[in-house]
Structure 1
Amino acid sequence: MNILQQIIASAQKTIAIEQEAIAHLHTLIDEEFAQAVEVIYNSVGRVIITGIGKSAIIAQKIVATLNSTGTPAIFMHAADAIHGDLGTVQKDDVVICISKSGNTPEIKVLVPLIKKTNNPLIAITSNKDSFLGTQANFVLHAQVSVEACPNNLAPTTSTTAQLVVGDAVAVALLDLKGFSDKDFAKYHPGGALGKKLYLRVSDLTQIHEKPSVSPEASIKEVIVEISAKRLGVTAVVEDQKIIGIITDGDLRRMLSKNDTLEGLTAKDIMSASPKTIDNDAMAVTAKRILEENGISQLLATHQGVYSGVVHIHDLIKEGII
C-alpha cells in the first residue's frame, strides 16, 4: 500500500467508525431526552453549557447553535467555573454538562456546586453510570464504543456523538418553538445564509442608477445610456412603464444585421415584454428567475413603475449565488 492509499484507507475507516456511532445514537433517544428538552423549553432562563478539554469546544459549538436558533445560551468553562465563574449561572438557568467519562476531576468538583443552586442539570455523557451521570437530573446518552483514533485515546467519535446530541436538542427546541425562516434571518443578518432570507430586490436596485431610454431614442442614445450606466442593459420606458429591454447583446446582433443605423430607434431593436420582478420580492427569487431563463439582468418594478435593474453580479457579490 502506497502513502496515498494509506491516507484514503485511514480516512475511510475514521468516517465508518463515526458513522456507525452516530447511527446508534438514535436508539438512545428516549423519554428522558424528551423531558430534558421540555425543561429547557419551559425555562425562562438561559442554557449554560459547560465542559472540560475537547468537550468544552463541543459545548461552545452547541451554544452557538442554540443562540442561532432562538434559545439563549452561554458557555462556561468547567475549570473557570470552579475558580470564580460559577456566578454565570443564574436562578432560572438550565445547566448542561458535557463529559465523555463523566468522572474528570473538574466535573466532580463542579457538579455538587451546581446542584446546590438547584438549577436543573442535564448531562451529555457516554457513561450513564459515571459521577456526572448519576448526579444529573437528566442524562442524554452519547455512548460510543470506540474512538476513531487508532489508539482509542484522542476524542474523535465521542466528540462527534456529543455534537450530534447537541444538534438534536437544538432542533427539537426549534420545532417546539415553531422557529421560522424569518426568525432565522433575524439571528443571521450578516451572512449569506441570512441574506437569502431577508435581502430583497429593492436592496439591490438602489445601488445602481436606472438605465432607461424612450421608444424613439436613437441607437446612439441607447449605446450611450448602456455605456454610462455600466449594467450592460437599458429598459425601454414609456409613461414610466417598461415596454422593452435592450442588452449589449441586442446591440451586437443589431450591428451584425444592419449596414446602417440611420432611422433605427430603441423600439426597433428592443425585446418586448421582458422578464421583470417586483421590488419587494426576495433576492433569491431574482436568482431563480435569472437562472431559469439564462439571463444576466432583470428589470424591477414598484407598483408597476420601472424601479431599476438586478444584475447577476449583485447576487454573486452578496453571496446569494
Structure 2
Amino acid sequence: METKIEKNIIEIAKKVLTDESEAIKSLISTIDVGFEQIVYAILASKGKIVLTGIGKSAIIAQKISATLNSTGQKAVFMHATDAMHGDLGIIDSEDIIIFLSKSGNTPEIKVLMPLLKRLGNKIIALVSNIESYLAKNADFIINAHVESEACPLNLAPTTSTTVALALGDALAVCLLEGRDFSKKEFARFHPGGSLGKKLYLRVSDIYPNNALPKVSEMDEIQSVILEMTTKRLGSTAVVNQMDELVGIITDGDLRRMLKNGAEFSKLKARDIMGTSPKTIQPDEFAVNALLKMQDLNITQLVVSEGKNVLGFVHLHDLLKEGLI
C-alpha cells in the first residue's frame, strides 16, 4: 500500500543537513589551545589511542579508530561494556584513552571511569555535556556540544554523532599533519582497492603481463598484421635496425591503409606507422598512465626507457586493476 508523508520530504532532508552542518560550524570557535594540547600529548605519547563508548557513540568511536589507524596513528576500539568484563587488558601504561559520550553521565561511564583512572592513563572526553561526570573526571575535553538532535523528537543520535565524527576527523588530520604523514605511508596502510593502487601501483607492475608486439620498420604489412593479431593488443611498436623505437602501428592505421586503397602487399611497416608514439616510463605510477590515455584519448601507451621498447600498457589493464 502506498503511503505518503504529510510534510515535504525534500524540506525535511534539507533541514537535517542544515541543522547538522550548523552544529559543526558552531564548534569551530571552541577549537583552541586545549585542542592543541591534546594533539601534542598524543604526538608525544609512546602508546596507542584506545577509543571507547556505548551505543551509537561506540560506533563513532570505531570509525575514528579506523581513521586514525589509516593515517599513521595506532588506535584500537574497546567497547565500554566489554571493558568491565576483561577488555581492560587492551590498555597499556602509556596509552591515551578517548571516551565518547553525548551525556557523559550514563551508569556505564560512572562504573568504568574509576577503573580507567586507577590505571593512570590520560583520558580525553569527547563529550557534548561539558558539565558531566565524564568531562569533570577527564584530563582533556573535546567539546562536542549540540543544542539538539536533527531528530524531531530530539532523541535519536543524529547531530551529536555527526559532530563527534567531524571532531574525530579534525583530530586525525592534525595528527597526520603533525607526523608529516606522506602519500607513500598512506599507500602502505591502504594496499587494497583502487585508492591504494593509485598510490603504489606502477607501470612496471603491469606491462610484463602483456606480450610485446614489435616489428622492424622494413617488415612487410603481412608480418605486421600477424604480429598484431598474435599479441592481441591492437597495436605494435616499430623499431629500426638498432632496435630503437621509431613508430607505432595501430588498428586505425591498418583501416586507413585499406581505405586509401593502396596495394598493401608492397608496403612496409614504415609506410603506415605513426612516427610519434605516445610513451610512458616503467617507474611512472599506473594512474598517470590512465590520466595520459584519457588526455590523449587513446587506449594504450608504449612503455619505454629512452628509445628502448619494454612493452605496452593498455586501458584494459588499468580497468582490470580497478583504477577506473
The answer, yes or no, to whether TM exceeds 0.5 is yes
Match of 1:318 among 317, 321, 324: 321
Q: Which amino acid aligns with 2:146?
A: V
Does the C-alpha gap of structure 1 residues 5 and 229 become closer, same or farther in structure 2, counting only changes over 3 Å?
Answer: farther
Q: Deviations over 1:266-301 (max 9, x none)?
A: 111100021111111111221221121111110001
Matches of 1:308 and 1:151, distance apart in 2: 64
Q: Deviations over 1:118-140 (max 9, x none)?
A: 10000101111101011000000
Match of 2:238 among 236, 243, 262: 236
Match of 1:178 in 2: 180
Matches of 1:240 and 1:32, distance apart in 2: 66
Structure 1: runs of 5+ lacking an equivalent: none
Match of 1:48 in 2: 50
2:222 and 2:265 in contact (8 A); partners too: no
Matches of 1:318 and 1:8, distance apart in 2: 39
How far did residue 241 of structure 1 move? 1.9
1:199 equivalenced with 2:237 (yes/no): no
Match of 2:297 in 1: 294
How far did residue 319 of structure 1 move? 2.5
Match of 2:63 in 1: 61
Match of 1:265 among 265, 268, 278: 268
1:256 equivalenced with 2:259 (yes/no): yes
The 5 Å alignment of 1:106-255 reads 106-238=108-240, 239-255=242-258
Structure 2: runs of 5+ lacking an equivalent: none
TM-score (normalizing by structure 1) = 0.96
Q: Which amino acid aligns with 1:166?
A: G
Match of 1:285 among 267, 283, 288: 288
Question: Is the deviation greater in 280-289 or in 165-174?
Answer: 280-289
% same residue: 54
SS at match of 1:183: helix
1:308 equivalenced with 2:311 (yes/no): yes
How far did residue 223 of structure 1 move? 1.4
Does the C-alpha gap of structure 1 residues 303 and 269 become closer, same or farther in structure 2, counting only changes over 3 Å?
Answer: closer
1:99 equivalenced with 2:93 (yes/no): no
Matches of 1:240 and 1:174, distance apart in 2: 48
Q: CA RMSD in A?
A: 1.4
SS at match of 1:271: coil
Q: Which amino acid aligns with 2:50?
A: I
SS at match of 2:8: helix
Does the C-alpha gap of structure 1 residues 4 and 289 become closer, same or farther in structure 2, counting only changes over 3 Å?
Answer: farther
How far did residue 4 of structure 1 move? 10
Q: Which amino acid aligns with 2:181?
A: F
Q: Deviations over 1:52-78 (max 9, x none)?
A: 000000011011100000100000000
Matches of 1:113 and 1:283, distance apart in 2: 51
Match of 1:24 in 2: 26
Question: Is the deviation greater in 102-111 or in 158-167?
Answer: 102-111
